[in-house]
Amino acid sequence: MDMQKNDCRGTSPVLEKKLKIAVEQTCELCHEYFPVSFLEIHTISRRTYKEMARDPSARILIVCHTCHNHIHRLPVPVGKQRALVKARSFYIRRDLRRILGYKPKPYRAPDDINIPLVYDEYFGRYSWGSYRLSG
Ligand SMILES: [Zn+2]
Ligand SMILES: [Zn+2]
């Protein structure tokens, strides 16, 4: 029995499965690979820290059953859990955000950059240029 498990519910089974696949079925604490059914979604804190205010992916960790028990029973300090969130790779963070429906403000390129010019310069010099030389 595990009385604290209820703290960590709140997503649908379909969503949970997507989150587990997004972390490549790898526990975010012990970094071992597990079947989906052995992974659980942990909610870091009921408190809303600044990084969690807009980004729901900052509130969760995807961990194996053993580590999940560990997190609650030790317990693993919230500061360490938040550090694990911050250490996520770009792609995992991006996928988790997508699944949870969080869209960071889109990046807008500054207006003064001429993209076609940069493109031409790159390919002219390194790609087409070297091709012509060799042929
Ligand atoms: Zn684990
Ligand atoms: Zn938990």
Q: Read off φ and ψ for residue 62, nearest 5 degrees.
A: -105, 110
Smallest CA-to-CA distance from 63 within 47, 76, 50, 46 is with: 76
Alpha-carbon span 23 to 15, nearest angstrom: 13
Check residue 112 and give its pLDDT: 60
62 alpha carbon – ligand 2 mean position (Å): 9
Identify any residues that bridge with 43 across adjacent strands, giving them in sequence order: 60
Ligand nearest to the CA of 30: 1
Residue 55 phi, psi dihedral angles, 5° rounding: -105, 105
Nearest ligand to residue 3 Cα:
2
Q: What is the mean pLDDT of residues 107-131?
A: 54
Report the share of the chain in percent with pLDDT over 90.
Answer: 66
Output the pTM of the full model: 0.72
